[in-house]
Amino acid sequence: MDTMNPCTCRDFLHAIVLGLALAASGFLGVVADAQEAASALRVASVTPAAVQPQEQDGAVIFYDDFSQAPTEPVRYNEVVSEKGSFLWTPDGGLRGGAMRCQFEKDQVAAGALHVLLGRNPIGAGHRPEETFREVYWRVYVRHEPGWQGNPAKLARATCMAGRDYSQGMIAHVWGGKGDVLCIDPATGIRDSRKVTTRYNDFANLKWLGSRNTQTSIFSPAESGRWVCVESHVRLNTPGRADGVFELWVDGKLEAARTDLDWHGEWQEYGINAVFLENYCNTDGRGSVKRQARWFDNFVISTRPIGPVVAEATPTVSRTGPDDAPAWEAQVATDAEGRDIVWQSIPGEGKGRVLTIGAGQGIFTGSRAGKLSLAAGTIGWLRVRQVGEPGWSPWHAPFVAAPTARK
């Protein structure tokens, strides 16, 4: 029998050791990634300032912070409570009131809010003398801790093209594959002619191709926190396929189409309705159990909106049980955490709330030596239990408000 010479044996052993080291390195990297993704804590909310810029912004078509119950027809074209499933509550929001949707087990339809805007065949709504070919809309949504299942429908912008409620286009923000959202654009125009004859005329709609997001907002790990969801639609230039549909989750662009033919050369109406919806029909069934979700800070604008403006000294709350161990937080000026500008003092977070300031943390990075965050900048947060190796992903963006101290 042939034997291996010493040099070959050493090379062979070296290769095994190197291979094991590389494998271990890769495994540890996967473990580290998994630890970060599986971090038990999330930021539940950042308390907004009492006054938000949308209240004075001329680009804003519609704004509701739900400090009062929604009304129709002054504010909303329709408030669909679905026999009490979708109701205003004076608390439970980012700062006071919110809309609360209660799904019962196996329930499909659970209410909606309908806003009309611009010129439309129904003859109602906000700024009815204008034609909007481009809109942004933002809403905060929170699913109760332990939420299960993809509730399928969240929102849509559409073109109401006839008094029969036929539609020229629909920009659906729906549940995607698994626990994520998706954009799912559709058109009711063929050869520059409207072919739909009623609302949701699926037989005549043309589906233009969906795109999934990445953040698992319907997973148990992401439940219990407020998520900022912003969408953007721009109709195509007549005769060109350059229409846009984009979706941001917590300030990160996660799905986009820039090649859409929404309307061909048809221009009778623009985008004239935005709906918030609770309609759970994933996999042909309703909600998997009795569970609730909330909506807050609903904005429709002709310009990008972004996250809420926080209080001058932002207050941050966390998810998880009341008796969780001490926790810590970091703030970065970017969604990847390249510039970490504040680190809480370990052990300060013994309850559910931390305050971003010099009293409970240290300013670092580009804000080293400062006493506050830079006014008007966006900050992203991440959290973890003290002593745990894995941080949560960067999430919960907010705009830093001006402060007296720089």
Flag whether 314 is in a domain.
Answer: yes
Instruction: Please provide the DSSP assignment of 295-340 as one string.
Output: EEEEEEESS---SPBBPSS-EEEE-S-TTPPPEEEEEESSTT-SSE
Flag whether 239 is in a domain.
Answer: yes
Phi/psi for 36 (5° steps) reads: -65, -45
Say which CATH number the domain at 169 has: 2.60.120.200
Per-residue pLDDT, 284: 80
Flag whether 2 is in a domain.
Answer: no
- CA 158/CA 282 separation, integer angstroms: 22
Are 132 and 222 members of one domain? yes
Are 208 and 108 members of one domain? yes
Here the tokens at position 84 are 């009490």
Are 355 and 243 members of one domain? no
Per-residue pLDDT, 142: 98
pLDDT band at 325 (very low <50, low <70, confident <90, very high): confident
- CA 50/CA 65 separation, integer angstroms: 10
pLDDT in tens, 46-62: 999 999 999 999 999 99
Per-residue pLDDT, 260: 98
- CA 186/CA 170 separation, integer angstroms: 5
User: pLDDT averaged over the chain?
Assistant: 89
Are 168 and 219 members of one domain? yes
Flag whether 20 is in a domain.
Answer: no
- CA 261/CA 239 separation, integer angstroms: 8
Q: What is the share, in percent, of the chain residues with pLDDT greater than 70?
A: 89
Largest CA distance in the chain: 94
Are 88 and 214 members of one domain? yes
- CA 393/CA 33 separation, integer angstroms: 10
Contact 192, 264 (CB under 8 A): yes
Per-residue pLDDT, 403: 64
Per-residue pLDDT, 39: 54
pLDDT band at 350 (very low <50, low <70, confident <90, very high): confident
Are 152 and 167 members of one domain? yes
- CA 300/CA 293 separation, integer angstroms: 21
Per-residue pLDDT, 17: 32
- CA 345/CA 121 separation, integer angstroms: 58
Flag whether 5 is in a domain.
Answer: no
- Mean pLDDT in residue range 315-336: 91
Are 297 and 321 members of one domain? no
- CA 16/CA 221 separation, integer angstroms: 39
Are 354 and 269 members of one domain? no
Q: Please name the residue that has the structure tokens 């909330």.
A: 294
Amino acid at 227: V
Query: Is it the case that residue 352 has pLDDT exceeding 60?
Result: yes
pLDDT in tens, 20-30: 333 333 433 33
- Mean pLDDT in residue range 176-190: 97
Of 301, 333, 366, the last residue of a domain is 301
Flag whether 164 is in a domain.
Answer: yes
pLDDT in tens, 221-245: 999 999 999 999 999 999 999 999 9
Q: 206: Cβ–Cβ under 8 A, 6 or more apart, which residues?
A: 186, 187, 188, 190
Query: Is it the case that residue 32 has pLDDT exceeding 50?
Result: no
Are 294 and 345 members of one domain? no
Contact 80, 86 (CB under 8 A): yes
Flag whether 404 is in a domain.
Answer: no
Q: Which domain holds residue 362?
A: 31-43+310-399
Q: 148: Cβ–Cβ under 8 A, 6 or more apart, which residues?
A: 220, 288, 289, 291
pLDDT in tens, 124-155: 999 999 999 999 999 999 999 999 999 999 99
Q: 152: Cβ–Cβ under 8 A, 6 or more apart, which residues?
A: 174, 175, 279, 280, 281, 282
Of 301, 334, 366, the last residue of a domain is 301
Of 267, 301, 335, the last residue of a domain is 301
Are 266 and 215 members of one domain? yes
- CA 119/CA 127 separation, integer angstroms: 8
- CA 143/CA 161 separation, integer angstroms: 33
pLDDT band at 402 (very low <50, low <70, confident <90, very high): confident
Query: Is it the case that residue 277 has pLDDT exceeding 60?
Result: yes
Which of 215-229, 243-257, 389-403 comes out lowest in average pLDDT? 389-403
Say which CATH number the domain at 347 has: 2.60.40
pLDDT in tens, 67-86: 999 999 889 999 999 999 99
Q: Please name the residue that has the structure tokens 């966390």.
A: 318
Query: Is it the case that residue 14 has pLDDT exceeding 60?
Result: no
Contact 313, 356 (CB under 8 A): yes
Flag whether 406 is in a domain.
Answer: no
Here the tokens at position 380 are 């992203």
Q: Which of 292, 294, 365, 347 is nearest to 105 (CA)?
A: 292
Phi/psi for 398 (5° steps) reads: -155, 160
Number of domains in the chain: 2
Per-residue pLDDT, 64: 97
Q: Which of 33, 90, 42 is nearest to 67 (CA)?
A: 90
Query: Is it the case that residue 40 has pLDDT exceeding 70?
Result: yes
Give the CA dihedral 115, 117, 120, 121, nearest 10 degrees: 30
Are 263 and 199 members of one domain? yes
Here the tokens at position 96 are 């006071």
- Mean pLDDT in residue range 159-176: 97
Contact 280, 147 (CB under 8 A): no
Q: What is the share, in percent, of the chain residues with pLDDT greater than 90?
A: 82
Are 334 and 250 members of one domain? no
- CA 263/CA 207 separation, integer angstroms: 13
